[in-house]
Amino acid sequence: MEPDEALRRALRLAVDPPAGVSIEAVRELARDDDASEWNIATAAKHLGVSPHTLRYYERIGLVRVARDAAGHRRYDAPAVRRLVFVTRMRVSGMSISDLRHYVDLADAEQDTVSERMDMLLEHRDTLRSQIAQLQLALAATEYKIATYQEVHQL
């Protein structure tokens, strides 16, 4: 393989990875079934976090969770949607303090949409910059792999 072709292939794999994000994956996260409630184990499994993490998020005020007659947590659809947002923001590097500020704004009585929008726009810019850097790192990795595969096949 020509060096330029190996670079093009590496860049293509870095920008459009084979297992990209799908609409189905996003829909699965954004639970829209308002009829049922989940226990902590089901919610944790769905969100890809531990029950301890969910208890922590509740304790610090990122989410309010109803309890059943026995005192067990019951995660309704709005709580799960809030937790989807919180967990995705944590994965993306948003700090707990920024998340708490965002949630406080979202839960406030007054209109705070413009301030929340500003926070999200800034976070988006940060994410785009990080993604660009990660894509370059992935491209460099793909290029090295292609180079080693070519040498190894000789």
pLDDT band at 153 (very low <50, low <70, confident <90, very high): confident
d(CA 150, CA 142): 12
Amino acid sitting at position 153:
Q
Q: What is the average per-residue pLDDT within 97-119?
A: 95
pLDDT tens for each residue of 47-62: 999 999 999 999 999 9
pLDDT at 149: 85
Query: Helix or strand or coil: residue 75?
Result: strand
DSSP state of 38: B
Q: What is the average per-residue pLDDT within 18-31?
A: 60
Please report where in the chains the tokens 């799908």 appear, as a residue: 22
pLDDT tens for each residue of 59-79: 999 999 999 999 999 999 999
> Which structural domains are found in the chain, ordered by start?
1-17+108-154 (no CATH), 31-95 (1.10.1660.10)
Structure tokens at 85: 């947002």
